[in-house]
Structure 1
Amino acid sequence: MESRATAFRVRLGLGELGSLPVVVVLVAVWIVFQSLNENFLSPRNLSNLSVDIVGTGLIAVGIVFVLLIGQLDLSVGSVSGLAAAVFAVLNVNSGVPEWLALIIAVLTGTAVGAIQGFSFARTRVPAFVVTLAGLLTWNGLMLYILGTSGTINLDENGLVADLTSYYFTHDSAAYGVAAIGAGLVFLASYRDRQRRKAIGMPHRSLVEIGMRTGVLAVVAFAAAFVLNRFQGLPLAFLIFLVVVAGLDIVLRRTHYGRQVYALGGGVEAARRASLGVIRVQTAVLAVSGTMAAIGGLFLASRITSVSQASGSGVLLLNAIAAAVIGGTSLFGGRGTTWSAVLGMLVIESVASGMAITDTPVAVQFMITGGVLFAAVVIDSFARRSQEAHGRA
């Protein structure tokens, strides 16, 4: 126990804070709003919160990929609106089957992201400049596709509408997902331990793996209990967790994921190591475009309509803020897809708390901005600490 505490203090000294700051902030936010209104942590509000984070959260997951290579995608809001508009026009106006319109809408986001990624990689113009042009272009294309009507209402009983309105009402669904999730985490940690042990690398003890899995299991089963007290496990939240976990495996367990992190450590060093820089950069922006499209469909599902306002407002800022607040570094090379989940929980918790306590939206913006600024400052200090120890 003492050695683990010592190792934890060493990591803090090296600037490796992990998700600790955002977890502390999230707990503090929940305590404050629960003290102001006892309904904040009610099953109904937490269930709604679990669905509200999905649309923007999926977009934020794509932003994580871009931030990992030290770049920024400013077009995700427009791409999300464009994908939703493509789906609505094809399905509602043209009668294309929902499943086919859904696939075309997602592929539209993938194609847009790939085009921007290839342009950025080939011209070496910063991604934020390329995607800033894309923000205007894709927003204009969305307005053109929607035409003079401006708003298209989706089928309330359709596939897309069900994405955010369907719940697994049987208690076993939520508890089953919690058990499977904890089991998979234990197996993944155990396999990683065995692999590291076989090649003589430092590895976690079985006690530590058991403790980590136990804490996760407690959190997962508590969440399942709360969700079951309202309407059950939301389909949207389940899809969100599966996507985040799947892309986390892609980043941490595949050759492509290691290339993404390597690129965040330095483009020139990656080129000299014979990494396919252009290919990886193009793929990263394609992932961002794909996630923006999927997120846009979930946002459209939430209100069962697509309008000229889709993808606008604070959507882009919230997606970027979620990734950064959750712990993804603006300097590249550090972060996970779970950063988007934690960041969105903070942002939506603040928004929900403001709504339930009738606090002005202006205050919500100021609080979110303050949390984002604090996250950036922490990230900067962590970077300096790592540089001072030769680890960045």
Structure 2
Amino acid sequence: MDEGASHPAGKSASNNVIALMMTRFRRGDSGMIPIVIGLFVMGIYFETRSSAFLSVGNLTNLAIQASIFVILGMAEVWLLLLGEIDLSAGFTAGLGGAVAVILVDLQFHWPWYAALSTALLVSVAVGALWGLLVIGLRLPSFIVTLAGQFGLQGALIWVVDSQGTGGTISVHETVLYNIVYGNLTPLFTWIFIVGTVAIMSFNMIRKNARRSAQNLESQPTLILGMKVGGMLVAGVLAGWVFNSNRGTFTKLNGMPYAIVVVGVILAASTFILNKTKPGRYLYAIGGNAEAARRAGIAVDRYRMLAFVLTGLTSGIAGLVYVSQLNGISDGIQGGTLVLYAVASAVIGGTSLFGGRGKMMHALIGGFVIATIYNGLALLQFGSAQQYIATALVLLAAVTIDSLARRGSTIVK
């Protein structure tokens, strides 16, 4: 009797989960689960085609490649939440990186902390300039930042070429170099991973319990358990990958500092968006700017904040970028970088229309882009196939977003 009675309850729970997921999709919130599943499918496919894909060395390299896309993607999220965009973020990153390399090396020899801080200030100034033009003159951000892309590209070429190093400046400073090529010790790698998973799981469970206590829509226990379990599994796998020896002639293990940088930016940005007044106001403005204005929110002030934060985050991406390349050249593909950045955010689930998005979306989307790039490179496909594959994935993500948004309007 007891065994027979358990089946309807289990079936009912499953039906409730499916019904909730369908309701959220129609409302425009399909979640990250489909993207994560797609990421695993791609990983399995590339491993069947090349046994090197899931090697610890390649997975670590993939994570480093993804870090650029993820950080630039997070830079774009600040503006995408408002329905705005920054097409110059790639060259903002490049200019900031160039300033850091020039000041810390060459003839200036500034202390690394002064050089890196100045580079970030330059990037913030660029973001503030775009904000002034967009907000003060009521110009479209698309046009302003497109013009900025050309202007910053020219400025970058001028700055790099004026150093008399043949259009390329190499990194020799240890701290800047170690952003990508330095690693945490295995012990601190585990501490970082365990701490990250514990904090994320605790916040997720607490938020769900709070919503349930207030009779608001909350996640079913099954979905919540799957998310927490997924994070635990991902954390264990990440720890094993990073702490395994990936060196050829000498022992090399530990989490690259670039991944730590991604984690810190993700945590800080998520905290701002979810736990602070400016973050909540950004969502409100993106959802309905006029309603936010009538509610007494200083809309222009918080729009400017978003531009400044985009500049700052782009500058950090530039530091990681020059560390990865071990230098900067006047031929940086800033336009391609920014398109990958927007693609990372949108593929992960951030809406192009404003009002909906998370920094976690840029993380997931950035790994999708890096997986495509890395996997096709292992299969010896050229740039043409990489661009086409990325285009198809981006088109699918935007189509799903648009359809879900239409469904949201119908549901309302």
Tell me if both proteins adopt one fold, taking TM over 0.5 as the criterion: yes
How far off its partner does 1:358 sit?
0.8
Give the secondary structure class of the aligned counterpart of 1:280.
Answer: helix
How far off its partner does 1:324 sit?
1.0
2:306 matched to 1:292?
no
Structure number with larger C-alpha Rg: 2
2:241 matched to 1:226?
yes
- Which residue matches 1:167? 183
2:207 matched to 1:192?
yes
- Which residue matches 2:8? none
- Which residue matches 1:201? 216
- Which residue matches 2:155? 141
Of the structure 1 ranges 212-221 and 322-331, higher mean CA displacement relative to structure 2 is found in: 212-221
Q: 1:122-142: CA deviations, max 9, x gaps?
A: 222111111112112222222
Q: 1:54 aligns with which of 67, 73, 82?
A: 67
Mapped partners of 1:379, 1:207: distance in 2: 25
2:165 matched to 1:151?
no
Mapped partners of 1:218, 1:59: distance in 2: 27
Q: 1:130 aligns with which of 135, 138, 144?
A: 144
- Which residue matches 1:259? 281
- Which residue matches 2:6? none
Mapped partners of 1:384, 1:197: distance in 2: 28
Can you give the 5+ residue segments of structure 2 that lack an aligned partner in the other structure? Answer: 1-12, 247-252
Report the residue type matching 2:27 in the other structure: L
Give the secondary structure class of the aligned counterpart of 2:350.
Answer: coil
How far off its partner does 1:179 sit?
1.8
Across the aligned residues of Structure 1 and Structure 2, the Cα RMSD in angstroms comes to: 1.9
Of the structure 1 ranges 20-29 and 192-201, higher mean CA displacement relative to structure 2 is found in: 192-201
Distance 1:57 1:215, change over 3 A: closer
Mapped partners of 1:116, 1:179: distance in 2: 39
Give the secondary structure class of the aligned counterpart of 2:169.
Answer: strand
Distance 1:266 1:42, change over 3 A: same
Distance 1:223 1:371, change over 3 A: same
Mapped partners of 1:357, 1:250: distance in 2: 40
C-alpha contact 1:79 1:311 (8 A) present in aligned 2: no
Distance 1:253 1:374, change over 3 A: same
C-alpha contact 2:86 2:145 (8 A) present in aligned 1: yes
Mapped partners of 2:337, 2:212: distance in 1: 44
C-alpha contact 2:95 2:156 (8 A) present in aligned 1: yes
Q: 2:45 aligns with which of 32, 46, 55?
A: 32
Distance 1:163 1:68, change over 3 A: same
Distance 1:269 1:19, change over 3 A: same
Of the structure 1 ranges 380-389 and 183-192, higher mean CA displacement relative to structure 2 is found in: 183-192
Mapped partners of 2:218, 2:112: distance in 1: 48
Distance 1:13 1:56, change over 3 A: closer
Mapped partners of 2:17, 2:334: distance in 1: 46
Distance 1:293 1:217, change over 3 A: same
C-alpha contact 1:84 1:105 (8 A) present in aligned 2: yes
Mapped partners of 1:78, 1:6: distance in 2: 44
- Which residue matches 1:214? 229
Report the residue type matching 1:281 in the other structure: R
- Which residue matches 1:98? 112
How far off its partner does 1:109 sit?
0.5
Can you give the 5+ residue segments of structure 1 that lack an aligned partner in the other structure? Answer: none
Give the secondary structure class of the aligned counterpart of 2:334.
Answer: coil
C-alpha contact 1:186 1:210 (8 A) present in aligned 2: no
C-alpha contact 1:56 1:299 (8 A) present in aligned 2: no
2:406 matched to 1:384?
yes
How far off its partner does 1:211 sit?
4.6
2:368 matched to 1:346?
yes
How far off its partner does 1:216 sit?
1.1
Report the residue type matching 2:80 in the other structure: L
Q: 2:357 aligns with which of 307, 329, 335?
A: 335
How far off its partner does 1:21 sit?
2.9
How far off its partner does 1:200 sit?
4.3
- Compute the TM-score of the two structures, normalised by the length of structure 1: 0.94
Percent pairwise identity: 33
Q: 1:273-331: CA deviations, max 9, x gaps?
A: 22111111111011111111110111100121111123535212111111111111111
Report the residue type matching 1:288 in the other structure: T
Mapped partners of 1:87, 1:377: distance in 2: 39
C-alpha contact 1:89 1:145 (8 A) present in aligned 2: no
2:33 matched to 1:20?
yes
Q: 1:86 aligns with which of 99, 110, 119?
A: 99
Of the structure 1 ranges 345-354 and 21-30, higher mean CA displacement relative to structure 2 is found in: 21-30
State the aligned residue count: 388
Mapped partners of 2:56, 2:170: distance in 1: 30
Give the secondary structure class of the aligned counterpart of 1:152.
Answer: strand
C-alpha contact 1:69 1:265 (8 A) present in aligned 2: yes
Superposed counterparts of 1:265-344, under 5 Å: 265-312=287-334, 314-344=336-366
How far off its partner does 1:258 sit?
0.9
Of the structure 1 ranges 181-190 and 278-287, higher mean CA displacement relative to structure 2 is found in: 181-190
